[in-house]
Each structure stands twice: as structure tokens, then as C-alpha cells.
Amino acid sequence: MKSAKLDAKETNADDDASRLIDARIKELSDWRGETLARVRALIKQAEPAVIEEWKWRGVPVWSHAGIICTGETYKNYVKLTFAKGAALDDPSGLFNSSLDGNTRRAIDIHETDKINEKALQALIRAAAAMNASKAKK
């Protein structure tokens, strides 16, 4: 779901991106907005140095030395796509979408799903650490 107001501006500036993500959450005004707000908070707690971006005409992106994940909203779910998810260990089995790809993995969160916050934060930290280790090379 994209609005013309939000599509009009694409930015990489953290403050502008944060405002656009705030607006998207408010615009949704339902369980999807609440879910996006919750995963956003979990991402920021797991990786305090995360940078918020707004890319591809309306997709929230969280980065640290590269993209950690994106947060897309659809009619029936919120999708967190991890840019390098295929390379991450997922002992809790959070990844439930995009499992056939060589690079990405995603978590589709539906309205009645309970978020395993501890496992999600572990994935966020692992993705940020992987990005940082590759950036040093």
C-alpha cells in the first residue's frame, strides 16, 4: 500500500526517512501499522546504530554497513525481507517466505501471528554483524 504523498519523495537521509516511516505507520492505522511500528522498535533495540532509509518509492529499509532488511506492507501481511537472509542461521525458523532464493529470506507476519521478539532481534544482530564483517574486508 503506497500513497501518492509518500511516493512523491525518496530519500536516504535518516531524519527524512524516519518521518516517512512514521507517516506510513500512521497512514496504515490498523494492525499492519502496529506491526510495522513494533518490528521497527525491535530493530532499533537490536541494532542501535541502524540507519533508516526510504527506498524504491515507498519501502522502509533498515541498514548498518549495508541493508539489514526491508519492511513492506501488504493487505494481509507485513513482510520483513532480509537482504542476505540465506546466509544467516535461523535456528528459530522465523523465515517463512522467499525460501527458494539464493540470497534473500523473508518473514511474513500476519495479523494473528505472535512475533518471536528475541529470535527476530538475534537475526537483526546477525545481519548487522555480517554486513560489518564484509564491509571491513
CATH number at residue 78: 3.90.1150.200
Tens-digit pLDDT profile for residues 83-121: 999 999 999 999 999 998 899 999 999 999 999 999 999
Cβ-Cβ contacts under 8 Å for 128 (sequence gap 6 or more): 46, 47, 49, 50, 64, 65, 68
- At position 53, the amino acid (one-letter code) is E
Give a yes or no: residue 136 inside a domain.
no
Nearest to 132 by CA among 35, 50, 59: 50
Q: How far apart are CA 19 and CA 23, in angstroms?
A: 6
Give a yes or no: residue 67 inside a domain.
yes
Give a yes or no: residue 80 inside a domain.
yes
| Domain tally, the chain | 1
| Count of residues making up the chain | 137
Show the domain range for 42: 7-131
Give a yes or no: residue 117 inside a domain.
yes
> In terms of DSSP bridges, do strands 78-82 and 105-109 run parallel, antiparallel, or are they unpaired?
antiparallel
This prediction has a pTM of 0.87
Give a yes or no: residue 47 inside a domain.
yes
Give a yes or no: residue 57 inside a domain.
yes
